[in-house]
């Protein structure tokens, strides 16, 4: 796997696909610069080598040129993060861009306008990708968040660089982390899968059954399994058309020697609301009219033991409706158990939308070994797919 360290960028222009798709407020101020900060090590390495960088990204989902999605809004924040002047060009291809890039000196940083102002970007247009490729000597992909898309700047462009292409530090770290969990793992390996639906996690479950020793299944998915096994789930969320699938998963897990752990008790509520009446009940005997919205204390005790005994931990999806304070406890405690296990030396990877939001919200981000930056891309990797953006660098 080629990374930045295999190249010396002295007097080279690197064209870097970054993910600067950052949130903006109504006055176009960047409200969270995490993604810009995440690309800084890659940019710094190239500049410190004596190279220059051309940054390209998308922002939002514009339909053609829409001012509100212009990357000009993030120039000031990028300058602040990098501690350097950033020259913005109001297009990503064309004469003006070519002239600006031709005038670049070592140490310069140029930011191109939103790639998605050209429909060719998302279409993966080869001619458009070739035009972008002309701007740099070396292509660096550091945008994990879009690595599952075969867009011009994330994938197609790579073919114009033969061996002059590599992953940036951020993307390399994502690949390394997932490898540590799925391929090169230290056993015992525990995966915790939560969230609302079995149907959205089934491909992940099937892919990782071969790679883990324990699988904790929580969140709304619990109840499809519990019902399939004959339990009474009251009004809890359930996919009735997935009952056979749930049994099938349990059977497969058994054959492969994977231990599946479902909650044994839950916090049940009489309505789906933060101020609902609640009671802790046996997961198999949820009263009519009540619904399970979080894992209960006995379940958490069991999960804690498993997690503290694990050497590798993957967490995807909350254990309950963590957006409501009354049902966040299971997810918070789970995060704390993983943090404790990580401190004891386990490798922990948190990936995929809601669990990432949860660890950030509960201040546990720094206590995990790695928190993935790409929602959809991470889910596809967990499903065992080869991401086009990664394959294009390796080809």
Told to check if 234 binds ligand AMP by CB under 6 A, we report no
Nearer to ligand AMP, 37 or 325 (CB): 325
CA 23 to CA 14: how far, in whole Å? 26
Restricted to residues 312-371, the positions that interact with ligand AMP (CB under 6 A) are 317-318, 320-321, 323, 353-354
**57, 152 Cβ separation under 8 angstroms:** no
Q: Which of 343, 345, 337, 342 is nearest to 362 (CA)?
A: 337
* Positions at the binding site for ATP: 201, 292, 323, 352-355
Q: How far apart are CA 190 and CA 211, in angstroms?
A: 9
Q: Do residues 199 and 239 touch, judged by C-beta distance below 8 A?
A: yes
Touching ligand AMP, residues 276-315 (CB under 6 A): 292-293
**CB 326 to ligand AMP: min, Å:** 12
195 is an interface residue for ligand AMP by CB under 6 A: yes
Of 137, 186, 195, give the one whose Cα is nearest residue 315. 195
When the beta carbons of 174 and 354 are compared against ligand AMP, the nearer one is 354
Binding residues: 19-21, 35, 58-61, 116, 149, 201, 292, 323, 352-355
Question: Is residue 200 near ligand AMP by the rule CB under 6 A?
Answer: yes
For the CB of residue 387, give the shortest distance to ligand AMP in the complex, in Å: 20
Residues in 117-146 at the binding interface with ligand AMP, rule: CB under 6 A: none
> In the numeric block, which tokens belong to residue 157?
């462009």
Nearest distance from residue 281's CB to ligand AMP, in Å? 13
Helix, strand or coil, per DSSP, at residue 171: helix
Q: Which residue is nearest to ligand AMP (CB)?
A: 195
Report how far residue 350's alpha carbon sits from residue 360's, in angstroms, rounded to the nearest whole number.
11
Where is 256: in which H helix or E strand?
helix 243-256
d(CA 199, CA 111): 40
Which amino acids are annotated catalytic?
35, 197, 353, 376
Binding residues for (2R)-3-phosphoglycerate: 35, 116, 149
Among 196, 207, 259, 274, binds ligand AMP (CB under 6 A): 196
Report the distance separating Cα 88 and Cα 77, nearest Å: 12
Give the footprint of ligand AMP on this chain (CB under 6 A).
Answer: 195-197, 200, 219-220, 237, 292-293, 317-318, 320-321, 323, 353-354
């Amino acid at each position: 796997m080629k990374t930045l360290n295999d190249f010396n960028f002295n007097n080279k222009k690197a064209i870097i696909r970054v993910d600067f798709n950052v949130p903006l407020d109504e006055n176009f101020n960047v409200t969270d610069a995490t993604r810009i900060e995440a690309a800084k090590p890659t940019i710094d390495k190239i500049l410190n080598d004596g190279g220059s960088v051309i940054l390209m990204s998308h922002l939002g989902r514009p339909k053609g040129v829409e001012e509100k999605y212009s990357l000009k809004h993030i120039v000031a924040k990028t300058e602040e993060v990098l501690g350097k002047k950033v020259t913005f060009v109001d297009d990503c291809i064309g004469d003006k861009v070519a002239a600006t890039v031709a005038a670049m000196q070592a140490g310069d940083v140029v930011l191109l306008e939103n790639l998605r102002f050209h429909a060719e970007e998302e279409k993966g247009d080869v001619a458009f990708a070739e035009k972008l490729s002309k701007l740099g000597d070396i292509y660096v992909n550091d945008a994990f968040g879009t690595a599952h898309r075969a867009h011009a700047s994330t994938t197609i462009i790579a073919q114009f660089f033969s061996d002059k292409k590599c992953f940036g530090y951020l993307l390399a770290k994502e690949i390394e982390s997932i490898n540590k969990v799925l391929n090169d793992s230290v056993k015992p390996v525990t995966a915790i899968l939560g969230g609302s639906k079995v149907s959205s996690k089934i491909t992940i479950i099937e892919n990782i059954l071969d790679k883990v020793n324990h699988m904790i299944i929580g969140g709304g998915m619990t109840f499809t399994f519990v019902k399939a096994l004959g339990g009474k789930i009251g009004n809890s969320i359930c996919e009735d058309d997935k009952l056979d699938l749930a049994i099938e998963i349990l059977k497969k897990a058994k054959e492969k020697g994977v231990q599946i752990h479902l909650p044994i008790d839950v916090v049940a509520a009489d309505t789906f609301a933060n101020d609902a009446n609640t009671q802790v009940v046996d997961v198999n005997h949820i009263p009519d009219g009540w619904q399970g919205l979080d894992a209960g204390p006995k379940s958490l005790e069991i999960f804690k033991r498993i997690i503290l005994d694990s050497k590798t931990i993957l967490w995807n999806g909350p254990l309950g409706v963590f957006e409501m304070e009354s049902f966040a406890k299971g997810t918070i405690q789970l995060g704390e158990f993983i943090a404790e296990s990580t401190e004891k030396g386990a490798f922990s990877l948190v990936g995929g939308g809601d669990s990432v939001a949860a660890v950030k919200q509960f201040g546990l981000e720094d206590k995990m070994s790695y928190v993935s930056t790409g929602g959809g891309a991470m889910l596809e990797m967990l499903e065992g797919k080869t991401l086009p953006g990664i394959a294009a660098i390796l080809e």
